[in-house]
A and B are shown apart, each in its own frame.
Chain A
Amino acid sequence: MAPLLQLSGVSKRYGGVQANAGIDLRVDAGTIHAILGENGAGKSTLMKLIYGVERPDEGQVFWQGQAVALSSPSDARRLGIGMVFQHFSLFETLSVVQNMALIVPGSKAELATRIRDLGAAFGLSVDPQAMVHSLSVGERQRVEIIRCLLLNPKLLILDEPTSVLPPQSVALLFDTLRALRAKGMAILFISHKLEEIRELCDCATILRQGRVTARLDPRQGTAHDLATLMIGRPMPPPVHPTPHGLGEERLALTALSFANEDPFGVSLKDVSLSVRGGEILGIAGISGNGQQELAALISGEIALKSSASSVTLMSHPVGDLGAAARRKRGLAFVPEDRLGRGAVPDMSLADNALLTAHSRGLVQNGFINRKAERAFTAECITRFDVRTAGPQAEAGSLSGGNLQKFIMGREMMLNPSVLLVAQPTWGVDIGAASEIRQRLVAMRNAGAAIVVISEEIDELFEICDRLQVLHKGHLSPSLDVAATSVEQIGTYMIGAAA
């Protein structure tokens, strides 16, 4: 029988970048096929070619043995291809169910029930009536997955679906995917988490610089072997920080409460935390429990006019100050959503450096110093190994992981006294992720106070000194990483702890 999907010699070029070069790929019904590769290897591009978002410069796409030329996602959907994008494609001003109704047939009431049912079955619960703009990145990811499943495709493309899902949801999602495979669905699965790939996938294709460098069965061999194939060197070891002396208190929240006006947002109740120079505090928890609000309250994107002293930076009350004033006092921040918040997609990397690094000599007497701007950007690109054409490349053209590296790099290069990072390694390949963790630990050792908000328990346990868990707007007491366990954190995460 002809394979469900076959690509032969597919190439795609963006300006000077050969994103895909002569790729052959075969996907059979009833299999889960992994696509692996470093950031910028061309995985998302290949998926966009299959889904009709982009068109190949060369090569052929065969669907059930027939040559097809897909010119739009609706063509692909008609054939039975569904895709969940790495960067989201939801309309922020519409509700969840309205977004679904745009491409899924059926009445809204009916859809809402199906969304709830699917959500319950797969552990991907979202409120169908919630407005998308009030959802966290993790929740948006769930919406995208559910929307795709509602269409019941023959081929499902998942571009890094698990990077923002909590572990429990990942387990449930995998059960779902296995059940769908048993029913004959084919799945293309992209992830940087090699253990997941080994657990789930039947075969794997590895890309490097746009070319296929290996095809293999991921269940044979270890994650270590896969990593070596993927990044061309062995997987770097984890970086557990060693205990050392602490500095003075840099950031504190004292009994901070925040009543969210958005009915679908989370209100924070009586949140307290304190971070000193030379330590990393991890905020664990499933996204949608107030992480967004907490981050915005610390960054100053939400300022509380009436309670200045509930947030202090270097012992100064800053709760009523905006983001710029807090940055001036030594705060830097990497938000969870990089396109449109951490970076302006339509501006060059150089102009994106200016966004937060303007105080580092990039602006003189109100004039932008282009030379300094370019130098800063170029340094960020080399130091953080951002794979891109150069400082003039538009932020929107970078691969997901590379943009994340750029934003991390920019904020770290500010040498902040306090660094707040949401999802530091989200979408970043394993080599780069370990690099980022090492740098975070190095900053801690140099005396910075760091807060990491992450859903990845392993990561938190690897780099943090202490953990606090956010659940429904409540923050747990501080737990020493050395004295706690994944299980204990887990009970806090679902609100089961006393």
Chain B
Amino acid sequence: MKITFERRAALSRPVLFAAPVIALSLAMLTSLILFAALGKPAGQALYSLLLEPFVGWYNISEVLLKMGPLMLIAQGLAIGFRANVFNIGAEGQLIIGALCASALPVYFPEGSSPLMLPAMIAMGALGGAAWAGIAAGLRVRFNANEILVTLMLTLIATQVLNYLLLGPWKDPHGFNFPQSVTFPDAALLPILLTGTRVNISLLAALLVSALAYVMMRHRFSGYQLLVGGLAPRAARYAGFTEARAVWVSLLLGGLMAGLAGACEVAGPLGQLQRSVSTGYGYSAIIVAYLGGLNPLGIVVSAFLMAALFIGGDNAMVSADLPVAAVFVFQGLLLVFYLASLTFIRHRVILNWTRRA
């Protein structure tokens, strides 16, 4: 038997929607086998991983809480990915955003001004953008690869965070834990759903998703980015400059990641901690691709990924899975998804006749 791939004339709509489902099923199947091989209760593990996040209001609200930053960051990243600008360092931009936002409550721990929160959010967003802007500047000026630069900037950001939390910003009454003072109420985001930790940043993330949709579908600036990603020579021919695409992509990506960082410290954390991000910046890359780099798709994939986060925590407890198993599951999901994407563009032809 011979298998060939034939390019479709147009994208296949059914496959576009089926691909994430197929990827999820395959990832489940593979991890079932893996978990069983590890000698863990595979059924229990999958239950914790996939179903438990949706059981009970508390679990669902925790999913919504994690969904916000993932969605926010992924929307920003997806814009760049579609323009072939690969910002891999959202994690670092998030950390810098969290740092910048924390500066105010750290220096004014008794502050009560109503302007404190908006200023923190703005500083966080701008800080993230500036951090990504370093990569943009280096790329435009020296043609330095933005994948490497953003990744390395993440390592630097982590060290800056460590330095501040172990030194100048450490809470003097914090029993020497590497964390800042707890923020005053004026530095905290209002809760959206009473009785849960879900705050209004979820609304901001949804708003950003809508804006991203409008930009990529209806704005000329979004179109220019798309052309640059699909056919760089056509972009040059039309006079859409690459430098602009690099700046826009990285600044938007950094802005969103910084915003997410600010919302974390001003939201569920209420202080600056070393664990300000639990890998949101990296997971958002998966979220962006799982969502087909499409703003609407990302809303869905952010929800699924958030559920997986919660499920992963559950599985570690109830099925005694190592934390790596959760990452393996996420990785499987991405690999299968990218593989099934091929079918959106190509038709598979199985040829049973023997070759001449």
Q: Does A217 contact B (CB under 8 A)?
A: no
- For residue A301, which residues in chain B have a CB less than 8 angstroms away from its CB? 236-237
Stretch at the interface among A151-159, A174-182, A339-347: A339-347
Q: Give the residues from 193 to 246 in chain A that come closer than 8 angstroms, CB to CB, to chain B.
A: none
Considering the complex, which residues of chain A in the window 317-363 have a beta carbon less than 8 Å from any beta carbon of chain B? Answer: 322-327, 333, 335, 337, 340-347, 351, 354-356, 358, 363
A389 CB, nearest partner CB in chain B, Å: 9
> Counting CB contacts under 8 A, is A71 at the interface?
yes
Q: Chain A residues near B220: list those with CB within 8 A.
A: 354, 358, 363, 366-368
Give the distance in Å from the alpha carbon of A363 to the alpha carbon of B10 in the complex.
Answer: 25
Which residues of the other chain, A, contact B10 by a CB distance below 8 angstroms?
15, 394
Q: CB within 8 Å of A: which of B317-356?
A: 349, 351, 353, 355-356
Given A345-B231, A358-B220, A366-B220; A323-B356 close (CB under 8 Å): no
Asked whether any CB of chain A lies closer than 8 Å to the CB of B110, the reply is no
Q: If A66-B356, A72-B4 touch, does A344 touch B231 (CB 8 Å cutoff)?
A: yes
Tell me which residues from 34 to 67 in chain A have a Cβ below 8 Å from any Cβ of chain B: 54-55, 63, 66-67
Please measure, in the bound complex, the distance between the C-alpha atom of A322 and the C-alpha atom of B280, giving whole angstroms.
39
Chain B binding surface, main DSSP class: mixed
| Number of interface residues, chain A, beta carbon within 8 A | 44
Tell me if A86 is interfacial: C-beta within 8 Å of chain B. no
**Chain A residue nearest in CB terms to B222:** A368
**In the bound complex, do residue B230 and residue A342 qualify as a contact, i.e. CB atoms below 8 Å apart?**
no
Closest to B350 in A: A71
In B220-235, which residues have CB < 8 Å from any A CB? 220-221, 223, 226-227, 230-231, 233-234
A68 at the interface (CB under 8 A from B): yes
List, in ascending order, chain B residues with CB within 8 A of A299's CB. 237
Contacting residues of chain B (86-101) with chain A, CB-CB under 8 angstroms: none
The winner among A300, A345, A356, A368 for most chain B CB atoms within 10 A is: A368
Indicate whether A134 reaches chain B with its CB closer than 8 angstroms: no
Q: How far is the CA of A354 from the CA of B355 in the complex (A)?
A: 46
- A:348-394 near B, CB below 8 Å: 351, 354-356, 358, 363, 366-368, 394
Number of A-B contacts (CB under 8 A): 90
Task: Give the residues in chain B near A367, CB-CB below 8 Å.
Answer: 218-220
| CB of A69 closer than 8 Å to a CB of B | yes
The residue that A346 contacts in the complex, of B219, B230, B237, B355, with Cβ under 8 A, is B230
- Given A71-B4, A323-B239, A325-B239: A344 and B9 within 8 A (CB)? no
Nearest CB to that of A389 among chain B residues?
B9
Instruction: Name the residue of chain A whose CB is nearest to the CB of B228.
Output: A344
A358's nearest neighbour on chain B, judged by CB, is: B220
Question: Is A75 interfacial (CB 8 A cutoff)?
Answer: yes
B237 contact set on A, CB distance < 8 A = 299, 301, 323, 333, 335, 341-342, 355
Inter-chain contacts of A322 with B (CB < 8 A): 239, 241
From A75, A343, A394, B234 is in contact (CB under 8 Å) with A343
Contact A397–B9 (Cβ < 8 Å): yes
A345 to chain B, nearest CB (A): 7
Point out residues on B near A: beta carbons under 8 Å: 2, 4, 6, 9-10, 218-221, 223, 226-227, 230-231, 233-234, 236-241, 349, 351, 353, 355-356
Jot down 29 A-B pairs with beta carbons below 8 A, ordered by A.
A15-B9, A15-B10, A55-B6, A55-B349, A67-B356, A69-B351, A69-B356, A71-B4, A299-B237, A322-B239, A325-B239, A326-B239, A340-B231, A340-B234, A341-B233, A341-B234, A341-B236, A341-B237, A343-B231, A344-B227, A344-B234, A347-B230, A355-B227, A358-B220, A366-B220, A367-B220, A368-B218, A394-B9, A394-B10
Pick the 3 closest A-B CB pairs, nearest first.
A324-B239, A323-B239, A68-B356
